Copies of this chain bind each other. A is one copy, B any other.
Amino acid sequence: MTVSFEQLFQGRIFSVVRHRSQTPDGRSVVREWVRHPGAVVIVPMIDDDHVCLIRNYRVAVDESLIELPAGTLEPNEQPHQTAVRELAEETGYRCQKMQPLLEFNMSPGITDERMHLFLATDLRPGEPSPEAGEQIENLALPWDEAMAMVADGQIKDAKSLVGLLLVDRT
């Protein structure tokens, strides 16, 4: 049973909320979590055997990670639109076919961030248009090479691991 709900912090992309509730046996439970608009991650197949990954500098971990293209939902944007937009912005690729594969929760102990996974095919190359401050470069790889980088720990971004491992099974 919810006792109270308050916003503790409002940021540019996410906020932090605190939720107090009571268990049936009368104990009080407090949880703080990050409220997030949701995001998309895309497996872009350049052809049947090549995937387009990116190298993406991440301030929070101070490292360039090898990832799938991804991005946050803008207000009033449907995940499919976000996927088409972010793929073009980050990699330059325009895609004819953006197929939803799975929705999953990124880190449900601390955030409601929901991730929408897409498979992009029928790609046409174009110019990327990164947002201010984004440091991104394309990394086109044979599928087997990408999976080898999953196995040896070179790819260590959770959403990218889920996307690559799931598509590899199908």
Chain B residue numbers with a CB within 8 Å of A13 are 32, 110
Interchain CB contact under 8 A, B165 and A169: yes
Chain A: residues with Cβ within 8 Å of the partner, total of 56
Task: Knowing A8-B9, A161-B166, A162-B165, say if A113 contacts B104 (CB, 8 Å).
Answer: no
Which among A74-82, A91-99, A121-129, A150-158 touches the partner chain?
A150-158
* Distance, CA A114 to CA B158, complexed state (A): 10
Chain B residue numbers with a CB within 8 Å of A108 are 58, 60-61, 65, 67, 157
A27-66 to B contact mask, C-beta < 8 Å, 1/0? 1011111101001000000000000000000111100010
Indicate how many identical chains form the complex.
2
Chain B residue numbers with a CB within 8 Å of A153 are 102-103
Interchain CB contact under 8 A, B65 and A105: yes
Chain B residue numbers with a CB within 8 Å of A159 are 107, 158
* Distance, CA A165 to CA B108, complexed state (A): 19
Q: Determine which of B27, B151, B161 lies in contact with A133 in the assembled complex, contact meaning CB atoms within 8 Å.
A: B27
Task: Knowing A34-B34, A58-B108, say if A151 contacts B169 (CB, 8 Å).
Answer: yes
Interchain CB contact under 8 A, A9 and B16: yes
Chain B residue numbers with a CB within 8 Å of A72 are 109
Interchain CB contact under 8 A, A158 and B59: no
Chain B residue numbers with a CB within 8 Å of A59 are 19, 21, 29, 31, 33
* Distance, CA A162 to CA B102, complexed state (A): 14
Any B CB within 8 A of the CB of A138: no
Any B CB within 8 A of the CB of A106: yes
Interface-central residue, A21, A39, A162, A168, by most chain B CB under 10 Å: A162
Q: Determine which of B30, B112, B156 lies in contact with A105 in the assembled complex, contact meaning CB atoms within 8 Å.
A: B156
